[in-house]
Amino acid sequence: QAQLVESGGGLVKPGGSLRLSCTASGFIFTDYYMTWIRQAPGKGLEWLAYITSSGNHFYYAASVEGRVSISRDNAKNSLYLHVNRLGAGDTAVYYCARGFGDSSNGLDVWGRGTTVTVSS
Amino acid sequence: SYELTQAPSVTVSSGQTATIDCSGHTLGDEPVCWYLQKPGQSPVLVIYQDVKRPSGIPERFSASKSGNTATLTITGTQPLDEADYYCQVWDSSAWVFGGGTRLTV
């Protein structure tokens, strides 16, 4: 069945950077657009970034634009998120999720998330 | 930025009907999706395109929209339906989530 597995989280010092990965399996990766969404402890869901199935177009949330970069390697069935200048507000569980067609179809498969903790 | 408003919490007795509202000033013009998230788990899509249920989602989950308010309805609510529920739309090239409603059964 379709599965997404995130990795790359951990403890990062303020001002640092990291790259999160999301590996897809069980479906045709190139048929789907992909997104990154995060959830701070005890808080709601916050969308961060979106990339088309081809990887040619992307959008970012205003709250993180300029600090994050989304990319994908379709040959490796992988999605990435680079985050720079990390601060305490970036502490969260980071999820990748897939979507098909247009946004009205929703995000139908989510990974289990990878936890990022920003602390000195 | 666009905002979706949800009540922080809703309480319902087991077997009764739960309704969770989501409001936004142009919600009537945009398809709404709903997700549930149980503690320690990832979100799960339960409604897309305002009213459609993905395969595997029980029929007791339904949704509607009137004006700028979308409503998720759970008929015959079960204790296992206890979760956080989020509405979501696509607006101006961004996914927007409501703040979430905690359903207590």
Write out pLDDT tens, residues B24-68: 998 888 999 999 999 999 999 999 999 999 999 999 999 999 999
Q: Are A44 and B99 a contacting pair at CB < 8 A?
A: yes
Quick one: DSSP state of residue B92?
S
Is the pLDDT reported for residue A94 higher than 80? yes
Secondary structure class of A39 (helix, strand, coil):
strand
Q: Are A106 and B43 a contacting pair at CB < 8 A?
A: no
Cβ–Cβ under 8 Å, residues A20 and A80: yes
* Cβ-Cβ contacts under 8 Å for A18 (sequence gap 6 or more): A8, A9, A10, A12, A82, A83, A86, A116
Categorize the per-residue pLDDT at B93 as very low, low, confident or very high, splitting at 50, 70 and 90: confident
Average pLDDT, chain B: 96
pLDDT of res. B87: 98
The closest alpha carbon to A23, from A2, A49, A50, A45, belongs to: A2
Quick one: DSSP state of residue B48?
B
Mean pLDDT value of segment A65-91: 97
Which of A61, A103, A110 has its CB closest to that of B43?
Answer: A110
pLDDT of res. B2: 83
Higher pLDDT, A103 or A69: A69
Q: Are A103 and B95 a contacting pair at CB < 8 A?
A: yes
Cβ–Cβ under 8 Å, residues A59 and B94: yes
Q: Are A103 and B90 a contacting pair at CB < 8 A?
A: yes
Q: Could you read off the pLDDT of A33-60 as tens digits, one per residue?
A: 999 999 999 999 999 999 999 999 999 9
The Cα of A49 is separated from the nearest Cα of chain B by a number of Å equal to 8
pLDDT of res. A22: 98
Mean pLDDT value of segment A74-100: 97
Restricting to A residues 13-72, those with a Cβ less than 8 Å away from any Cβ of B are 35, 37, 44-47, 50, 59, 61-62
Would you give the distance in Å from CA B39 to the centre of its chain? 16
